[in-house]
Amino acid sequence: MRAILILIATAAFIAAPAVTTPFMGYDPAMFPVVIARPSIQPAGYAFAIWGLIYAWLLVHAGFGVLRRSDAVWDAVRLPHLGALVLGTAWLAIASFYPLTATAAIAVMAGFTLWSFLGAIPAHDRWLLAAPLGLFAGWLTAASMVSLGVILAGYGWLSDTGAALAMLAVILAVAVVVQLRQASMPSYSVSVVWAAIGVAAVNWQDNPLVAYSALIGAGIQTGVALWAFQRR
């Protein structure tokens, strides 16, 4: 039953963008401090990673229904289901309620980290831990991007200050998570991809943020390689 629910929720999650208003980031006019392009927000091309995430999660869900009903897979299904259900509704929320959307994506990230850290990489490595890791890594970054936009938009931090603070938090969380799941670097792939997207979009207008993002990406890559070699 859990496997079937995961398949249904995954299909709904993937279909959600087709039936909701396209989300291009929070409308700057919704905040007291209008920032046309928040520095913490990655370049648009970075969001193409969703294609890989969707495809891998769908393969994961389909394989789980057909071939896996064991306790190892069941252990991660409930938190993964929670993330998928929230994710299905998130686009509808994000266009109108940034604060609610930020809280929701933070909970989603928590659910995905729970499921990823509960996965056993040696058990169906590329169909269990790998897609969950890619999903968890992207949501780790996305949740902090959302929070960074809120912090700057409400004037609680400057645009640059919010970006630097969130990059630091992303790196701190990602290092801890990757050290705990040393055998599965797909988590770091998402985090590094997001950091490169932040660096690319800020290269000319905000080099401090760009260089900080690149340094973070380099540190995370080094941690992932070191942890993988020592697993």
pLDDT digits (tens, 9 = 90+) for 22-69: 777 899 999 999 999 999 999 999 999 999 999 999 999 999 998 887
Instruction: Indicate whether 27 belongs to any domain.
Output: no
Instruction: Indicate whether 31 belongs to any domain.
Output: no
Instruction: Indicate whether 28 belongs to any domain.
Output: no
Instruction: Indicate whether 32 belongs to any domain.
Output: no
**pLDDT tens, the chain, 231 aa long:** 888 999 999 999 999 998 887 777 899 999 999 999 999 999 999 999 999 999 999 999 999 998 887 788 888 999 999 999 999 999 889 989 999 999 999 999 999 999 999 988 777 889 999 999 999 999 999 999 999 999 999 999 999 999 999 999 999 999 999 999 998 899 999 999 999 999 999 999 999 999 999 999 999 999 999 998 887
Q: What is the pLDDT of residue 72?
A: 83
Instruction: Indicate whether 141 belongs to any domain.
Output: yes
List Cβ neighbours of 135 (8 Å cut-off, separation of 6 or more). Answer: 53, 56, 57, 83, 112, 116, 190
pLDDT digits (tens, 9 = 90+) for 162-178: 999 999 999 999 999 99
Instruction: Indicate whether 88 belongs to any domain.
Output: yes
Instruction: Indicate whether 133 belongs to any domain.
Output: yes
- Per the structure, the count of domains in the chain is 1
Instruction: Indicate whether 145 belongs to any domain.
Output: yes
- Indicate the pTM of the whole model: 0.95
> Got the DSSP string for the chain?
-HHHHHHHHHHHHHHHHHHSPPP-S--GGGSSS--SS-TTSPPGGGGGHHHHHHHHHHHHHHHHHHH--SHHHHHHHHHHHHHHHHHHHHHHHHTT-HHHHHHHHHHHHHHHHHHHHHS-TTSSTTTTHHHHHHHHHHHHHHHHHHHHHHHHHTTSS-HHHHHHHHHHHHHHHHHHHHHHTTT-THHHHHHHHHHHHHHHHHTTT-HHHHHHHHHHHHHHHHHHHHHHHT-
| Residue 204: HSE in the Cβ half-sphere, 13 Å Cα cutoff | 1
The parent domain of residue 157 ranges over: 2-21+38-229
Tokens matching residue 70: 């064991």
